[in-house]
Amino acid sequence: MNGNNQKILLVEDDQNFGDVLRSYLEMHDYIVTLATDGSIGSDFLRKSKYDLCIFDVMMPKKDGFTLAKELREKTRTHLLYF
Amino acid sequence: MKNLVQNLLSRNTILIVALLMSLSLLGIIGIQVYWIIFQVELNEKTLDNNVLSAMRSVAEAVEKKEEDCAKQDQALITKTYDRLVEQTLYTASAKRAIDEKINLQHLDNILRQQLLEHNINLDYNYGVFDQNFDYYAIVDNQYQVKPNTKNLVHTGIFKKLDVSKYQVKLFERHADYGTMGELRVYFPNKFKLIWSNVWKSAIASGIFTAIILFCFVYTLVVIVRQKKLSEMKNDFINNMTHEFKTPIATISLATDSIKSPTIIENKDKINRFLNIIKQENKRMLSQVEKVLQMALIEKQDFKLNLEKLSLHDIILQAVEYANLQAEQKGGVVCVDLGAIDDTIEGDQTHISNIIHNLLDNANKYSPEKPNITVSTAQTYQGVKVSIKDEGIGMTKEQKKHIFEKFYRAHTGNLHDVKGFGLGLSYVKTMVLAHRGDIQVISELGKGSTFIITFPHKILDKNNV
Ligand SMILES: Nc1ncnc2c1ncn2[C@@H]1O[C@H](COP(=O)(O)OP(=O)(O)OP(=O)(O)O)[C@@H](O)[C@H]1O
Ligand SMILES: [Mg+2]
């Protein structure tokens, strides 16, 4: 698995899991942006483009599904729920 | 999705069963009422027929007697047959007032006899109404005084006789002379007779129906409550598994990362991952604790491991942990331990869990900087512990339910505060098991205070 510096937006409210996942992805040469809740995530989405978005479904302020809907209205990024 | 369908299905089934049951119950009640009414009506009809037939016989007998008497008189006066004389005498006798035509004793005897003959064994009143003078000439074996005025308003027995449906004409053949009368009978205990063979079965079926109804409602309530509880438990399990997945995934990812060659050289990074693994481990431990707590409340007959404890020590330990959490949100936990004697008898694990749970709530339900105060004081009953926060507080309605299993006041679609609604029900169960007492003071938006009191000694050790 190799990322070739593709950009990933990771939205996850659990600090530890977010941390570990980011390091793991970075290890594989992805460029990862971590947002700790849904509304920060949607701010990031507005500002720049990502090759892949990973959302946690259960999050404070804005949940993953809402975020995904927002995103789908704008672009054609790959979506991944978990 | 399948689960949902199943739920819907069984909810509908319950509804249909309940509906069918209600309908058949209504049907049974209806049929019973119908039969009772039918029986009563039948009784009344039989009685009516018997009474009227008895009275007709009485009337016949009375008329016959009068006729015989008149003929005797006639025979005495005229020995020869003379149509004119006969006619005159007949008219004279027919013109007599009704009380003159009736022999009191004869009427009384014949009425009693006839009623008995018709199987009517009931107290009765009777009267002979004089239609000419509009008064009761005879009532219950006594002649009555003729009133001076007509159209008197009848009361008492007269009124009863007036409206009685047992009325038979007397001397109808004297109608031309205006000396007709009416025999009226009234039964004060008629009601009793009509119901005599019905009331027992009516009451019995009433009682049985009531019992069935009660059992039905009771069963329904239990089913609905049980269903709700099982749904809640399902929710809990779903929630729990989700909560378990996160630490498991984190630990698995962290170990994978450590194994990778780029990181194994980097001591700092390894340490960070190890730290995370440790934290997640603790998290899982506390989750397991939650499940155990839930099992405990469920079981109810837990054993407490009683020993002498210093409540202040336990509080200080718990506060230390809570302070770490509060500091993350920029808050603080203050302590004011004023109790002089802080020894209590209790189970170390549970007492410590109680304080942990309350502090955890105070912290969780303070959205801004948590400002928590823990204080103790001496009271007559023992040691009082107050845990006060300045968080979101609760409404009166919420306050009523917070000690219920699985109840969560602050839910919504946004999972900003995680929990299972088990903490307080565990706390309450345990406080009560320690013969203590728990109270809440709370105002929405202002904050909450939980006050627990522990006795120094547990006196009755039954069920502990
Ligand atoms: N200090 C508090 N301030 C405001 N609301 C509170 C407080 N403590 C409890 N509550 C309310 O009471 C509910 C029940 O609390 P409880 O501790 O039983 O469950 P929980 O905290 O939601 O979950 P957990 O089982 O993880 O403790 C909470 O959901 C919350 O709405
Ligand atoms: Mg709680």
Q: Average of pLDDT values for B237-244?
A: 82
Asked if residue B339 lies in contact with residue B312, where contact means CB atoms within 8 angstroms, the answer is yes
Question: What b/e readout covers B299-308, taking b as 16+ CB neighbours within 10 angstroms?
Answer: eeebebebee
Homologous superfamily of B307-455: Histidine kinase-like ATPase, C-terminal domain (3.30.565.10)
Partner A contacted by B369 (CB < 8 A): no
Candidates B280, B411, B414: best to mutate against A (most CBs of A within 10 A) is: B414
> Is residue B373 very low, low, confident or very high in pLDDT (cuts 50, 70, 90)?
very high
Contacts of A58 in chain B (CB under 8 A): 242, 415
Residues 278-307 of B with CB under 8 A from A: 279-280
Mutate to test the pocket of ligand 1, among B365, B397, B407 (most ligand atoms within 8 A of CB): B365
Domain assignments of chain B as residue spans, ordered by start: 12-195, 217-298, 307-455
Q: Which of B116, B92, B89, B114 is nearest to B183 (CA)?
A: B114
The pLDDT value given to residue B211: 94
List, for residues B439-463, the tens digit of each pLDDT value. Answer: 999 998 899 999 999 999 888 776 6
Asked if residue B333 lies in contact with residue B359, where contact means CB atoms within 8 angstroms, the answer is yes
Out of B279, B415, B416, name the one closest to residue A16 (CB).
B279
What distance in Å separates the CA atoms of residue B405 and residue B373, rounded to the nearest whole number?
26
Give the global pTM: 0.62
Report the nearest atom of ligand 1 relative to the CA of B447. 3
Count Cβ–Cβ pairs < 8 Å, chain A vs chain B.
Answer: 44
Residue B25, Ramachandran bin (φ over 0: left; ψ between -120 and 50: alpha; else beta): alpha
Q: Report the chain B residue with the minimal C-alpha distance to residue A29.
A: B262
Per-residue pLDDT at B103 exceeds 70: yes
The pLDDT value given to residue B2: 53
Q: Hey, whose CA ends up nearest to atom 19 of ligand 1?
A: B421
Per-residue pLDDT at B351 exceeds 90: yes
Lowest mean pLDDT among B169-183, B305-319, B333-347: B169-183
Residues 250-269 of B with CB under 8 A from A: 250, 253-254, 256-257, 260, 262-263, 269
List, for residues B51-96, the tens digit of each pLDDT value. Answer: 999 999 998 988 888 888 777 776 766 665 667 777 777 777 777 7
The pLDDT value given to residue B84: 74
Q: Average of pLDDT values for B229-247?
A: 82
Place of tokens 């339900």: B365
Query: Is B421's C-beta closer than 6 angstroms to any atom of ligand 1?
Result: yes
**CA B231 to each of CA B7, B171, B201, B226, B240: distance values in angstroms, whole numbers, following the listed order:** 9, 84, 44, 9, 14
> Is residue B207 very low, low, confident or very high in pLDDT (cuts 50, 70, 90)?
very high
| CATH code of the domain occupying B217-298 | 1.10.287.130
> Is residue B162 very low, low, confident or very high in pLDDT (cuts 50, 70, 90)?
confident
Percent of chain B residues topping a pLDDT of 90: 33
Partner B contacted by A61 (CB < 8 A): yes
Contact B416 A61 (CB under 8 A): yes
List, for residues A46-73, the tens digit of each pLDDT value. Answer: 888 888 888 777 666 667 777 777 777 7
The pLDDT value given to residue B160: 86
Phi, psi of B402 (to 5 degrees): -60, -25
Identify the nearest ligand to the CA of B417 by its number: 1
- Tell me, in angstroms, the distance from the centre of ligand 2 to residue B215's CA: 37
Query: Is B424's C-beta closer than 6 angstroms to any atom of ligand 1?
Result: yes
Sheet holding B181-186, edge to edge: B135-139, B125-130, B181-186, B166-170
| CATH code of the domain occupying A7-75 | 3.40.50.2300
What distance in Å separates the CA atoms of residue B212 and residue B215, rounded to the nearest whole number?
5
Per-residue pLDDT at B7 exceeds 70: no
B307-310 and B343-346 beta bridge pairing: antiparallel
Partner B contacted by A22 (CB < 8 A): no
Asked if residue B388 lies in contact with residue B449, where contact means CB atoms within 8 angstroms, the answer is yes
Per-residue pLDDT at B385 exceeds 90: yes
The pLDDT value given to residue A78: 64
Contact B280 A27 (CB under 8 A): no
The pLDDT value given to residue B383: 95
Domain assignments of chain A as residue spans, ordered by start: 7-75
- Helix (H) or strand (E) holding A31, with range, is strand A31-35
Out of A17, A24, A61, name the one closest to residue B256 (CB).
A24
Q: Average of pLDDT values for B156-175?
A: 84
Contact A17 B263 (CB under 8 A): no
> Could you tell me the two tokens for B188?
């004060």
Positive/negative CA dihedral, A41, A46, A49, A53: positive
Which residues neighbour B330 within 8 Å (Cβ) at sequence distance 6 or greater?
Answer: B369
What distance in Å separates the CA atoms of residue B99 and residue A68, rounded to the nearest whole number?
108
**CA B213 to each of CA B21, B126, B169, B206, B351: distance values in angstroms, whole numbers, following the listed order:** 10, 47, 52, 10, 46
What distance in Å separates the CA atoms of residue B190 and residue B115, rounded to the nearest whole number?
14
ipTM: 0.80
> Could you tell me the two tokens for B134?
């509009």
Contacts of A27 in chain B (CB under 8 A): 257, 260, 262-263
Sheet holding A31-35, edge to edge: A31-35, A7-11, A52-55, A78-81
Q: Average of pLDDT values for B339-358?
A: 92
What distance in Å separates the CA atoms of residue B158 and residue B136, rounded to the nearest whole number?
8
Q: Report the chain A residue with the minimal C-alpha distance to residue B259.
A: A24
CA-based R_g, chain B, Å: 47
Contact B253 A19 (CB under 8 A): no
B241: Cα within 13 Å, side-chain hemisphere:
5
Per-residue pLDDT at B44 exceeds 80: yes
The pLDDT value given to residue B416: 63
> Is residue B414 very low, low, confident or very high in pLDDT (cuts 50, 70, 90)?
very low
List, for residues B326-343, the tens digit of each pLDDT value. Answer: 888 899 999 999 999 999
Per-residue pLDDT at B176 exceeds 80: no
What distance in Å separates the CA atoms of residue B337 and residue B385, rounded to the nearest whole number?
9
Place of tokens 């009433």: B206
Contacts of A62 in chain B (CB under 8 A): 414
List, for residues A16-39, the tens digit of each pLDDT value. Answer: 888 888 888 888 888 888 888 778
Contact B273 A21 (CB under 8 A): no
Highest-scoring range by mean pLDDT, B122-136, B249-263, B429-443: B429-443
> Could you tell me the two tokens for B290?
């939650």
Q: Torsion over CA of B407, B413, B414 and B418, rounded to 10 degrees?
A: 30
Which of B334 and B232 is assigned the larger pLDDT?
Answer: B334
Partner B contacted by A26 (CB < 8 A): no
Candidates A21, A23, A30, A65: best to mutate against B (most CBs of B within 10 A) is: A23
> Is residue B8 very low, low, confident or very high in pLDDT (cuts 50, 70, 90)?
low
Asked if residue B128 lies in contact with residue B183, where contact means CB atoms within 8 angstroms, the answer is yes
Q: Hey, whose CA ends up nearest to atom 9 of ligand 1?
A: B361
Helix (H, G, I), strand (E, B) or coil at A75: coil
Q: What is the mean pLDDT of chain B?
A: 85
B269: Cα within 13 Å, side-chain hemisphere:
20
Q: Average of pLDDT values for B190-196?
A: 84
Which residues neighbour B138 within 8 Å (Cβ) at sequence distance 6 or greater?
Answer: B99, B102, B104, B107, B127, B128, B144
List, for residues B208-229, the tens digit of each pLDDT value. Answer: 999 998 999 999 899 888 888 8
Contacts of B247 in chain A (CB under 8 A): 16
CA-based R_g, chain A, Å: 12
Question: What b/e readout covers B197-221, taking b as 16+ CB neighbours within 10 angstroms?
Answer: ebeeebeebeeeeeeeeeeeeeeee
